[in-house]
Structure 1
Amino acid sequence: MEHSTIDQMVKKWIVDAADRPANPRIQEITVRLVADLCKAIEDLDISQTEFWKGMEFLQEAGKRHELGLIVPGLGLERFLDDRADEADAKAGITGGTQRCIEGPLYVAGAPESVGFARMDDGTEVDKTEPMFIQGTVYGEDGKPIANAKVEAWHANTLGSYSYFDKTQSPFNLRRTIFTDSDGRFTFQSIMPNGYGCPPDGSTQAWLDQLGRHGNRPAHVHFFVTAPGHRKLTTQFNMEGDEYLWTDFAFANHESLVPPIKRISDPAEMAKRGVNKPFALIDFDFHVVKEKAAAPTGDVDRIRAAA
């Protein structure tokens, strides 16, 4: 079937068949997606069995709440970030910390503090090394921003996240810090592990068919917000991780791999209140001002809240 014929058919189904006021934007997107899908079915000679098996797969993935994994696993979330970077550049927005995908595991409502927060509940202190993340939030003018909001979340030593993993205490490894008067923040936590997609799940089943692993390197997620500035969504990956440059979610950027200092000096350990060597990561955030002509840095999507 010719593509032009498909376009006419889809217009008839979606546009001409409308018998009441339609949402123009939803109608436009639907026409494009349905037409492109029909063209793919035609061009690739997708059988009815293949089509319905695909629908069954998506239905099962939805039941398993894995669409949030499939989207980054296929590169779609990275693509959305790349488009946002391109839009920022066209609007003259430059110089901020590199954005990076949010992923599906944020939970709203983490405990708040000023300047310092301990993220872990102490249950895994014997399984890994302590970790401190410290830095400053800067504005476009290079000056520190006091009272900026820095939200952080990461996995435990098993690669699991609290709230979704009911064996963990509420808000374990999730905290919100408002920067001090000098724009500084410090998170005390434990070194996380990366995670893999559920081996019996929908995402890994698709990745297996594509000849790909489903692993992420160890990483820490952040939201950074400040009045008059664009929201920053980012994360950094741990240097040296075996999946650092083969992240299944494509969330790897050279600027988001900070060096890790291993501190074993007894005086520094005592100063930090830990009894064994610890990892220290210095990481500053640079946020940019809101600009009317630019797309918003905030993304409206359903997120978990405890």
Structure 2
Amino acid sequence: MTHTEIDSLVKSWIIDSATRPANPRVQQVVLRLVSDLCKAIEDLDIQASEFWKGLEYLSAAGARNELGLLTPGLGLERFIDIRADEAEAKAGLAGGTPRTIEGPLYVAGAPESKGFARLDDGSESDKAEVLFMQGTVYGADGKPLPNTKVEVWHANLLGNYSFFDQTQSSFNLRRSIITDENGRYQFRSIMPMGYGCPPDGTTQQLLDLLGRHGRRPAHIHFFVTADGHRKLTTQINIDGDEYLWDDFAFASREGLVPAVTRISAPDQISAKDLNAPFASIDFDFHLYADTAKAPSAEVERNRAAA
């Protein structure tokens, strides 16, 4: 069939067959997606067995709760970010901290504190490098932003996240920090490790067929939210990681790889109430002002809550 014939046929299925009031936006999106899929089936000569195997794969990915992992692995979540960057640039917004993907592992309800928080529960202290990370949140006017919520979460030394990994304590390596009167935040944690997709999972199964690895560099996630400003969704990568610029989720970006400083001076170690050297990262966040000229930076999606 020609593409014109396919468009006409799919319109008869999706639009012309409606006998009750419909949602125009849903009609528009479904019409386009089904039309494009039918064209791909025609152009690539996709056979019936291939089609049904594809549906079986998506069902299996859903059953394993891996669609949220497959989405960044195929670049789709990065593409959504690219479009958001373009919308903000068109609205005249520039110079803020780069956004990057949220991923599927946020959990709402993390304990909240003012200015400082310790993220880890101490269960990996004998194996982990202590990390202190600190900085200032700046508003659109370039001034520090007190009372900004900085939500932070990251993986443990095995690359696992609390809540999804039931062996960890509740909200381990997850906190919400409210910036102090100077717009400052700081937390103590452990240096996270990079990790890969579950080797027996559906995401890695497809990546294998595509000749790709499923590894992520070590990273730390953030939501940064302040009144009158656009919510920032981002993450920083740990400099020196083998997969720093080879992230299967395409989340690595310039401006999100801060320097890691190793502190070994006895007075600084003592000041942190430690007895061994530690790592330190300085990182400031720069937010954009709210504007009606760009789509909302608040993404509506189902998220875990504990």
TM-score (norm 1): 0.99
Who is 1:25 aligned against? 25
Who is 2:278 aligned against? 278
Who is 1:16 aligned against? 16
Alpha-carbon displacement from aligned partner over 1:9-65 (angstroms, at most 9, x marks no partner): 000000000000000000000000000000000000000000000000000000000
User: Does 58-67 or 289-298 show the bigger shift?
Assistant: 289-298
8 Å Cα contact 1:148/1:226 also seen in 2: yes
Who is 1:150 aligned against? 150
Who is 1:210 aligned against? 210
Secondary structure at 1:16's aligned position in 2?
coil
Alpha-carbon displacement from aligned partner over 1:124-169 (angstroms, at most 9, x marks no partner): 0111210011000001211100010000000000000000000000
Q: Deviation of residue 73 (structure 1)?
A: 0.0
Amino acid at match of 2:164: F
User: What root-mean-square deviation, in Å, do the aligned CA atoms of Structure 1 and Structure 2 show?
Assistant: 0.5
Who is 2:91 aligned against? 91
Who is 2:40 aligned against? 40
8 Å Cα contact 2:149/2:224 also seen in 1: yes
Secondary structure at 1:131's aligned position in 2?
strand
Who is 2:129 aligned against? 129
Q: Deviation of residue 237 (structure 1)?
A: 0.5
Who is 2:257 aligned against? 257
1:114 to 2:148 alignment: no
8 Å Cα contact 1:95/1:140 also seen in 2: no
1:222 to 2:213 alignment: no
Amino acid at match of 2:9: M
1:292 to 2:292 alignment: yes
8 Å Cα contact 2:228/2:289 also seen in 1: yes
Amino acid at match of 1:192: P
Secondary structure at 1:204's aligned position in 2?
helix
Q: Deviation of residue 295 (structure 1)?
A: 0.6
Q: Deviation of residue 6 (structure 1)?
A: 0.2
Q: Deviation of residue 266 (structure 1)?
A: 1.2
Alignment of 1:186-197 (within 5 A): 186-197=186-197
Who is 1:167 aligned against? 167
Counterpart CA distance in 1 for 2:141 and 2:135 is 17
TM-score (norm 2): 0.99
Who is 2:61 aligned against? 61
Amino acid at match of 2:2: E
8 Å Cα contact 2:157/2:193 also seen in 1: yes
Who is 2:177 aligned against? 177
Secondary structure at 2:215's aligned position in 1?
coil
Amino acid at match of 1:61: A
Counterpart CA distance in 1 for 2:273 and 2:155 is 22
8 Å Cα contact 2:149/2:225 also seen in 1: yes
Alpha-carbon displacement from aligned partner over 1:216-253 (angstroms, at most 9, x marks no partner): 00000000000000000000101100000110000011
Amino acid at match of 1:54: G
Aligned residues: percent identity?
68
8 Å Cα contact 2:140/2:229 also seen in 1: no
Secondary structure at 1:299's aligned position in 2?
coil
Q: Deviation of residue 293 (structure 1)?
A: 1.8
User: Does 171-180 or 288-297 show the bigger shift?
Assistant: 288-297
Amino acid at match of 1:305: A
Secondary structure at 2:255's aligned position in 1?
helix
Secondary structure at 1:254's aligned position in 2?
coil
Q: Deviation of residue 94 (structure 1)?
A: 1.3
Q: Deviation of residue 254 (structure 1)?
A: 1.5
Counterpart CA distance in 1 for 2:144 and 2:188 is 21
The count of aligned residue pairs is: 306
Unaligned runs of 5+ in 2: none
Counterpart CA distance in 2 for 1:137 and 1:255 is 15
Amino acid at match of 2:150: V
8 Å Cα contact 1:216/1:243 also seen in 2: yes
Alpha-carbon displacement from aligned partner over 1:250-281 (angstroms, at most 9, x marks no partner): 00112100000000111111111222111100
Amino acid at match of 2:45: D
Q: Deviation of residue 95 (structure 1)?
A: 1.6
8 Å Cα contact 1:136/1:183 also seen in 2: yes
8 Å Cα contact 1:196/1:214 also seen in 2: yes
Amino acid at match of 1:264: S
Counterpart CA distance in 2 for 1:274 and 1:159 is 25
